[in-house]
């Protein structure tokens, strides 16, 4: 996984597979407890906010928005979406 993200673009070059895996696992854990949220990639980390947050529209408009996820998302879904974002960067 490290090579996949390193090749994806300059933003992924400094990240290890372990760090990215931990961030995705944290996201999935949060979703299982809180429900649906918006996820973006910013400053080499995953950020998320709830759909009813005042920042929701701003997050959705960002080009680094991975999407809106709910509790049934898998690790691989998030990894695939993140890889696409990094390739565009």
Tens-place pLDDT, residues 32-63: 888 899 999 998 899 989 888 888 999 999 99
Q: What is the rounded distance in angstroms from the CA atom of residue 78 to the CA atom of residue 26?
A: 12
Per domain, the residue ranges of the chain are 2-88
**Pairing of the two strands 37-42 and 65-69:** antiparallel
Classify strands 45-50 and 65-69 as parallel, antiparallel or unpaired. Answer: unpaired
The dihedral built from the CA positions of residue 82, 20, 17 and 70, taken in this order, carries a sign that is negative
How far, in Å, CA of 61 to CA of 56, rounded? 9
Question: Confidence class of residue 14 from pLDDT cuts 50, 70 and 90?
Answer: low
DSSP string of 5-18, one letter each residue = HHHH-TTTTT--HH
């Amino acid at each position: 996984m490290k090579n996949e993200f390193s090749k994806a673009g300059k933003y992924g070059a400094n990240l290890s597979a372990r760090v990215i895996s931990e961030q995705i696992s944290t996201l999935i854990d949060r979703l299982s407890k809180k429900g649906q949220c918006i996820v973006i990639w910013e400053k080499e980390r995953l950020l998320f906010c709830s759909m009813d947050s005042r920042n929701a529209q701003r997050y959705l408009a960002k080009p680094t928005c991975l999407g809106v996820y709910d509790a049934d998302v898998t690790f691989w879904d998030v990894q695939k979406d993140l890889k696409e974002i990094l390739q565009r960067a």
